[in-house]
Amino acid sequence: DFDREIKVVVLGNGGVGKTSMIRRFCKGIFTDEYKKTIGVDFLEKAQFVDALQEEVRFMLWDTAGQEEFDAITRTYYRGAGAAVIAFSTTDLDSFKAVLSWREKINAECGDIAMCLVQNKVDLIDRAVVTPEEVEALARQLGLKLYRTCVKENINVTEVFGYLAELHHKK
Ligand code: GDP
């Protein structure tokens, strides 16, 4: 069943936790010292989605450190059914870049399922944005906001479950 398979692209500036999120969701692990491979890579994970009452096969694509807009090739976006736009609690540039990531996804993929992810909420003491600023941006973009801590596995499964559900409704 084609509906049960979804390619998800995970986007955002370098260092926000994209590779960590994909590895956390697909492999259940978190490591600080993980060395990235060069070039686009993906991992797969079958996960039961409560909202759909069925198992969905997620194919998660990582930019593998090539976050420069033009370095990400068409292949990366091709066939994507959903996108995570991630920024870090401690990186203002990554927050400011959210709008351009959203525009890039729309240009490459059209109106696919998306959500906004604020990662590294364990570092809230060092936050460079207020909760209100983040909520205002999510509202302005019409995106559901998830606050995650990939390190402690908070809200990661929920992000992908939501995207599968939204994709299914579109
Ligand atoms: P990417 O460049 O967006 O793929 O980011 P990485 O996955 O390589 O993560 C960048 C750094 O942030 C790494 O040192 C990760 O271990 C760290 N990191 C990722 N998620 C979290 C988190 O939730 N909390 C904290 N404290 N660090 C994180």
146 pairs with which residues across the strands?
Answer: 117
133: Cβ contacts below 8 Å, ≥ 6 apart? 95
Which atom from ligand 1 is nearest to the alpha carbon of 23?
A: 7
* Ligand 1 mean position, distance from CA 1 (Å): 34
- Give the pLDDT mean for 122-149: 98
Query: Is 15 a residue whose pLDDT tops 90?
Result: yes
Mean pLDDT over the full length of the chain: 90
Query: Is 65 a residue whose pLDDT tops 70?
Result: no
Across the chain, how many H-helices and E-strands are there? 6, 6
Query: Is 121 a residue whose pLDDT tops 90?
Result: yes
Which residue is closest in CA terms to ligand 1's atom 6? 17
Q: Which of 16, 19, 20, 125 to mutate to test the pocket of ligand 1 (most atoms within 8 A of CB)?
A: 20
Query: Is 1 a residue whose pLDDT tops 80?
Result: no
